[in-house]
Structure 1
């Protein structure tokens, strides 16, 4: 199959600089609406990868995201949100970006072109066969990401990928590829737009579905969330009141004693 980078094809919109603000926003919005439909076509691929992640995590494994530029930043964001949302250790889901943490804010020259660095970055975490590594690259051609997955394959580590070009070298390398083909961007080649949105949505799906499968959500509530600010403490109190027959003040006291919604509710239920 011939590989074509649809993410690099010319925008179907011309003379953007002549458009009004209304027209610009409307047309960007029209393009953004197509993203969930592209993801829907990839649901079977996403399911296969999530199933692998859940199985490996039940064996004590971890999930790693590797990427460069926007893709790397999106992986870092998703990984960093798992501990506060689901109360998991900070090193259960790890985001690694080409060029290191400095590249989160500012591009690091040539970092994505190094095909051997990702594996070196992963080995700093003592990567092993219980772990899963997902390579993220809108183009599907980033050497840093492809090289990382190739090394993982050689070391019997489960690999997945998220790309926005069908049949990409990255998809061919990953054991469990996800292809979300969103088509040309509104601004030609600006894959931080639809492609970035698609990657973010898929990452949300992967981490959320995985954590639910691992029992980190009860009903539809984040019962293991970290209580890191007043808003979240109040949310936790309301959750407790919804689960057991106590007042706001009693729920607050239970939460203060036990430190999480789950532990507060379980403690109460064990007594009554």
Structure 2
């Protein structure tokens, strides 16, 4: 099997250890910026993946994540943010990480080669026909990721595969392939660098588009956030005040009347009764735009 491009030496890496610190850092930054250029040709695939995921969530299904090592960490970072940012229940976004929680403190390489572990994690995720799973592997040939992709697809799950190597097996095994061709790393094989940066940005874009499609983003505000700390309670009040065009005191009263439900509070702040606001949001499938004054 030929060496994946992520394992090759970057053309700018020769003599890296001999350079001054400022030149090393500048070269590393340029390589990170260059890796992001790989996102442009992937935009249509990312859009397709986001639309599929939004449709699954809208229908009451799930959007799962899966990966090992650095790719798994990028998936986990996006997955964990969805509850606070978009109000998605964790049960709607199961995470499959090679090695489980223990591996987050000390990652063990053997876990990413364990196909049986992948099947057990997929079984525990609850993913089924009609759901979507985002599977990440920089090399596109990690056994854990490949097994989840193949087994999930066999169960009727729509599988999105993110890989950083053209022609990778993962891209051939999924419904929606997303190639992020970031090329060689400045530290050969260290895909926590350019490959992971591109993966994280791709997931950022995908999940925001999902949030928009579900009505959880309005004018750039996270109107379905879960306000579970002081910072987010203050943010929720500012969002209600700005979107409803009311003073902060009115926004805070509306949030109190809706037990912190931001979208409902926006309508209440505009004079709608809480029950009527909830009913209207149900009819609009969670979208504020057609309901605002």
TM-score, normalised with respect to structure 2: 0.87
- Matched position secondary structure for 1:110: helix
Q: Could you say which residue in structure 1 is the equivalent of 2:10?
A: 11
Contact persistence 1:77–1:95 (CA under 8 A): no
Any gaps of 5 or more consecutive residues in structure 1?
none
Contact persistence 2:136–2:145 (CA under 8 A): yes
- Matched position secondary structure for 1:65: strand
* Paired residue total: 271
The 1:11/1:243 distance shift into structure 2, 3 A limit, reads: closer
The 1:115/1:263 distance shift into structure 2, 3 A limit, reads: same
Alignment of 1:111-190 (within 5 A): 111-190=111-190
Cα root mean square deviation, aligned = 1.8
- Listed one character per residue, the Cα deviations across residues 35-58 of structure 1 (whole Å, up to 9, x for unaligned) are 222100111111222222222222
Contact persistence 1:117–1:144 (CA under 8 A): yes
How far apart are the structure 2 equivalents of 1:182 and 1:218? 32
The 1:245/1:201 distance shift into structure 2, 3 A limit, reads: closer
- Listed one character per residue, the Cα deviations across residues 209-238 of structure 1 (whole Å, up to 9, x for unaligned) are 112101111222111111122222222222
CA deviation after TM superposition for structure 1 residue 102, in Å: 1.2
Contact persistence 1:99–1:108 (CA under 8 A): yes
Contact persistence 1:180–1:198 (CA under 8 A): yes
Contact persistence 2:129–2:157 (CA under 8 A): yes
How far apart are the structure 2 equivalents of 1:201 and 1:214? 20
The 1:49/1:248 distance shift into structure 2, 3 A limit, reads: closer
Q: Could you say which residue in structure 1 is the equivalent of 2:20?
A: 20
- Matched position secondary structure for 2:226: coil
Q: Could you say which residue in structure 2 is the equivalent of 1:248?
A: 248
Any gaps of 5 or more consecutive residues in structure 2?
274-292
Structure 1 runs of 4+ aligned residues shifted over 6 Å read none
TM-score, normalised with respect to structure 1: 0.94
The 1:240/1:48 distance shift into structure 2, 3 A limit, reads: closer
Bigger relative CO (Cα 8 Å, ≥ 6 apart): 1
